[in-house]
Structure 1
Amino acid sequence: MAKRICVVEDDESIRALLLAALSAEGYQVNGYSSAEEALAALSELRPDLILFDIMLEGMDGVTALKLVRRNPVFSATKVILLTAKDTETDKVTGLDAGADDYVTKPFSVLELSARVRAALRGTAPVQPEVQRFGPLTIDMKTREVQLSGEPVELTYKEFELLKMLVQNADRVLPREELLQSVWGYDYIGETRTLDMHIGTLRGKLGDTASDSQFIRTVRGVGYRFIGQQPQ
């Protein structure tokens, strides 16, 4: 029997995206715009996993999570928090309240799907804060990047783009998904914005059109970060 997931997200476009993506993965999915609405339905649905947006109107996601954790009926239910906040305190607060994992917005649908699968298996994927790919070193916490020991100055968008590519290393990420996750829904279709940033990012990482060590173009689809670097 398919696992059931409840999505609690007050942004209609994000909720619709999550419902479509998770349904495509074969889950039974129910969506709610408020914590109050979701909590009223949980006893009947008995979901295997709940996605709670933290910044909900009315009751926030952390408060709703605490109520879920007080009910022994949901002791086996997994909870992932969706948050626009990326500070250590916010993450610790959520985990201390009983969350099994958290995903920071903007997020990759591929990453979220992987975290859902991992949570339902009982183990959330953990990526090291400092990641190394040949001469490239990326500190996800401090947002510092070095190439052959020298600092690489990236803009906020360039780092977010690199972060998403790295988190999905060796996977082809479609242009539309990169735009949606890094720039938001208003930029869907504006692929020139993405291509220009990719070009600038490549230049800072030492990639060239004829020799792309880190970021490869998949013609007609998008981009792929090369995770397996030659020794």
Structure 2
Amino acid sequence: MDVKHAILLLEDEKEAADMLANYLEMHNFEVLQAYDGKQAMEYITQRPDKIDLAILDIMVPSVNGMEICKRMRDNPILASVPIIFLTAKDQESDEISGLEAGADDYIAKPASFKLIEARVKSLLRRQPARSSGWLHFRNIYLDATNFEVQVDNQRVDLTHTEFRILELFLQQPNKVYTRQEILEHISDDQKFVFDRTVDVHVKNLRIKLGAAGEAIKTYRGTGYGMNREMAG
């Protein structure tokens, strides 16, 4: 069974967007539709690991396609995802600007659905299998492979213990962990750790994450975990 690739489609002309989305869905693609830049930003920030390719119009309300492209390139999970501009801006200077912004291809309107499909398939064939080590929750990103944490694309330096606690939370963001479970995750057989040590580490972790630290919630009488009410 073929895996369906998910395409973020940003197009503010609803009829044209729906027709293209229907065509792509008929050809075994999943389409994430956004009729303005704000909707596209929600996909980028809340569901980045869902997007395999993006088709962006440039002249759209709220946040234009150029800015969406730049935001995708700044996102650790989306940095290498193929981007196609599909736009009525058909001057050579427009195409150059689009490619310099980080797009992989540029198609001027009007364009046939078959041409768009061919360009999409060509880019996806060249795209290596995604094996990202990134875990994320809203604007918090953790790369378990390279021991790196970012918030709003800014690196955050954590201790080894803080990193392991955050990694634990992000692996199952809907789970609430007891202090004992957290202790077992961060301690070894040679080290005795008090329950309240967890509280100190979580407090320090929240401070280092800044405003994003609000995503770590204290579940009174139980323990800690990600704030499920903030999940996208």
User: Hey, what's the Cα distance between the residues in 1 that align with 2:39 and 2:22?
Assistant: 20
Q: In the alignment, residue 113 of structure 1 is paired with which amino acid?
A: E
User: Hey, what's the Cα distance between the residues in 1 that align with 2:72 and 2:18?
Assistant: 24
User: Hey, what's the Cα distance between the residues in 1 that align with 2:96 and 2:126?
Assistant: 19
Identity percentage over the alignment?
33
TM-score by length of 1: 0.51
Look at both structures and tell me which one has the larger radius of gyration over its CA atoms: 2
Map Cα deviations across residues 2-55 of structure 1 (whole Å, 9 max, x no partner): 111111100001110111011011011111101111111233252000111011
Q: Which residue, 105, 121, 139 being the options, matches 2:125?
A: 121
TM-score by length of 2: 0.51
Aligned match of 1:53:
57
Across the aligned residues of Structure 1 and Structure 2, the Cα RMSD in angstroms comes to 1.3
Matched, 1:80 2:66: no
Aligned match of 2:107:
103
Please report how far the alpha carbon of residue 76 of structure 1 lies from its aligned counterpart in structure 2 after TM superposition.
2.6
Map Cα deviations across residues 154-185 of structure 1 (whole Å, 9 max, x no partner): xxxxxxxxxxxxxxxxxxxxxxxxxxxxxxxx
User: Hey, what's the Cα distance between the residues in 1 that align with 2:31 and 2:43?
Assistant: 13
User: Hey, what's the Cα distance between the residues in 2 that align with 1:45 and 1:20?
Assistant: 22
Q: In the alignment, residue 28 of structure 1 is paired with which amino acid?
A: E
User: Hey, what's the Cα distance between the residues in 2 that align with 1:99 and 1:91?
Assistant: 9
Q: How many residues align?
A: 123
Q: In the alignment, residue 8 of structure 1 is paired with which amino acid?
A: L
Map Cα deviations across residues 121-168 of structure 1 (whole Å, 9 max, x no partner): 128xxxxxxxxxxxxxxxxxxxxxxxxxxxxxxxxxxxxxxxxxxxxx
User: Hey, what's the Cα distance between the residues in 1 that align with 2:61 and 2:38?
Assistant: 10
Aligned match of 2:20:
18
Q: In the alignment, residue 26 of structure 1 is paired with which amino acid?
A: N
Aligned match of 2:10:
8
Matched, 1:32 2:34: yes
Aligned match of 2:47:
44
SS of the residue corresponding to residue 77 of structure 2 reads helix
User: Hey, what's the Cα distance between the residues in 2 that align with 1:33 and 1:107?
Assistant: 19
SS of the residue corresponding to residue 12 of structure 2 reads coil
Q: Which residue, 72, 77, 82 being the options, matches 1:68?
A: 72
SS of the residue corresponding to residue 8 of structure 2 reads strand
Aligned match of 2:186:
none
* Structure 2 residue ranges without an equivalent (≥5): 128-232
What are the equivalent positions in structure 2 for 1:204-219 lying under 5 Å apart?
none
Structure 1 outlier segments of 4+, above 4 Å: none
User: Hey, what's the Cα distance between the residues in 2 that align with 1:49 and 1:35?
Assistant: 16
What are the equivalent positions in structure 2 for 1:65-214 lying under 5 Å apart?
65-122=69-126
Contact map agreement 1:48 1:76 (CA 8 A) in 2? no
User: Hey, what's the Cα distance between the residues in 1 that align with 2:118 and 2:110?
Assistant: 15
User: Hey, what's the Cα distance between the residues in 1 that align with 2:67 and 2:79?
Assistant: 16
